[in-house]
Amino acid sequence: METAIKENLNYPGKLEKLYRSDKKRFEQSFFAIYPDIAALPMADIWRARLAFDHQAEPGRKVLKSDLLFLIISCVMAGFLIKIPLLAGFDPDEYDYYIKNGGIIVFLGLSTYAFLTKSRINLKNLIISLSIFTLSALYVNLLPAGEKSDSINLAYLHLPLFLWFLYGVIFIDFDLKERSKRIDYLKYNGDLAILTLLILIGGGVLTAVTIGLFSAIDLHIEHFYMENIAIIGLVASPIVASYVIRNFPVITDKLAPIIARIFSPLVLITLSVYLVFMFVTGKDPYNDRDFLLVFNLMLLGVMAIVVFSVVGTSTHKKHRFSEWVLFMLSLLTLAIDLVALSAIIYRVGEFGFTPNRTAVLGSNLLIFVHLVLITITLFKVVWKGKEMKSVEQTIAGYLPLYVAWTLSVTFFFPLIFGWR
């Protein structure tokens, strides 16, 4: 939405169409980019109009409706997570939380997204509900996965697939518009930060509550964790989404600030880490556990690169940040090369297994994506291209991740015979 607004500032008719398609999102996006477009006459006109509309329509009414939608979504998620207690079976025995945790969280988020849309498209709603239902049936009908790597991989990748589905719902099934994919990634950066803050606050509240009741010899730990904490856990992303939607002034600056602070720190930390890795002689080629940690680190740094790009691209050019991101992408590319060569070596030595195949495919995907991102960042720092070009590179590659996640989730158990 932010990109679309910027591109159509000279076309009043198109701006009006954008506004009418999703008024709330338009308002949030407009005020997020306003510092960059404040000098334009059209920006002043829309600022006055949106400010007037906000005063003319009592904000409390909007907040009340959104609050109702929030409560509905949280109650639904809370009910689903409490099904084992209500039905009287042991959730650990059936791996209920492992199988259904991602479904419950993303169904709650999707419910809130649908409820807060200005108009619900019945076809999109039916498609979404059908995919959630089929996913729930599939994962719960899989054989017990304690000794099956392919089934455990399906458990792990299903939430990633549902994250993509939620993204499709978030962008209102507009799969052709890459700028909307970037809006979704920006939203996820804010969502991750706010959810973490809410969970930290919830953790402090839990500790204080249990401590206070323990002081008067009432031990409520078991009751509190099973009836309050677990519901708060699945509801926290939905609450964070509510805050992002209704208080954009608070959230719009979070991701860019954190990106600018942590990107240089991550770059320094990784550089030092790689030096000490070689000094200490750690070997990802023969140490399976170290290779696993190495790949997890790669995924984390890749996420930081992506969210840093989408978090800073809407702001004024900042040469230092561009250089940091370019160096970080180069370093991440080097890490991926080491991880990729290590997994290829292990496949050559020990053959294909579900885990090795999944890690190999993921590393290849990330490697190609990193090469494209690094090349585009090179053009940004050396040839003066806009950071928007990096966004386009990131957005255009996302369908490949969807295809791979689908393959691991639904085909690996069949291909590897449930082993």
Residues 370 and 242 reside in one and the same domain: no
Residues 281 and 409 reside in one and the same domain: yes
Residues 246 and 302 reside in one and the same domain: no
359 touches 149 (CB < 8 A): no
Q: How far apart are CA 97 and CA 197, in angstroms?
A: 23
Q: Which residue has the tokens 């805050």?
A: 243
Amino acid at 377: L
Residues 336 and 204 reside in one and the same domain: no
Q: What is the dihedral of CA 368, 373, 376, 377, to 10 degrees?
A: -140
Tell which wins on pLDDT, 253 or 219.
219
Tokens of 48: 């006055």
Task: Write down the mean pLDDT value for the chain.
Answer: 83
pLDDT at position 41 is 67
Q: Is pLDDT above 90 for 323?
A: no
- Tell which of 250, 280, 312 closes a domain: 250
- The mean pLDDT value for 256-285 works out to 79
pLDDT at position 123 is 92
- Tell which of 204, 222, 250 closes a domain: 250
- The mean pLDDT value for 96-102 works out to 90
pLDDT at position 121 is 87
pLDDT at position 160 is 94
Each residue's pLDDT tens digit, 304-322: 888 777 766 555 566 777 8
- Tell which of 215, 231, 250 closes a domain: 250
Residues 135 and 77 reside in one and the same domain: yes
Confidence at 284, pLDDT banded by 50, 70, 90: confident
Q: Which residues contact 94 (CB under 8 A, 6 or more apart)?
A: 84
Q: Is pLDDT above 90 for 79?
A: yes
Q: Is pLDDT above 60 for 59?
A: no
Q: Which residue has the tokens 């991989």?
A: 153
pLDDT at position 392 is 86
* Greatest Cα pair distance in the chain: 70
Residues 73 and 222 reside in one and the same domain: yes
Confidence at 175, pLDDT banded by 50, 70, 90: confident
Q: How far apart are CA 100 and CA 71, in angstroms?
A: 21
- The mean pLDDT value for 278-301 works out to 78
Q: Is pLDDT above 60 for 56?
A: no
Residues 196 and 269 reside in one and the same domain: no
Residues 34 and 85 reside in one and the same domain: no
Q: How far apart are CA 190 and CA 276, in angstroms?
A: 33
- The mean pLDDT value for 404-419 works out to 87
Residues 307 and 345 reside in one and the same domain: yes
pLDDT at position 158 is 94
Q: Which residues contact 288 (CB under 8 A, 6 or more apart)?
A: 346
Residues 126 and 168 reside in one and the same domain: yes
- Give the structural domain span for 199: 59-250
Helix axes 122-141, 149-170, angle to 10 degrees: 170
pLDDT at position 249 is 67
pLDDT at position 235 is 93
Of all residues in the chain, the percent with pLDDT exceeding 70 is 90
Residues 82 and 219 reside in one and the same domain: yes
Residues 169 and 274 reside in one and the same domain: no
What values do phi and psi take at 146, rounded to 5?
-60, -40
Q: Domain tally for the chain?
A: 3
**Lowest-confidence region among 39-48, 94-103, 174-183:** 39-48
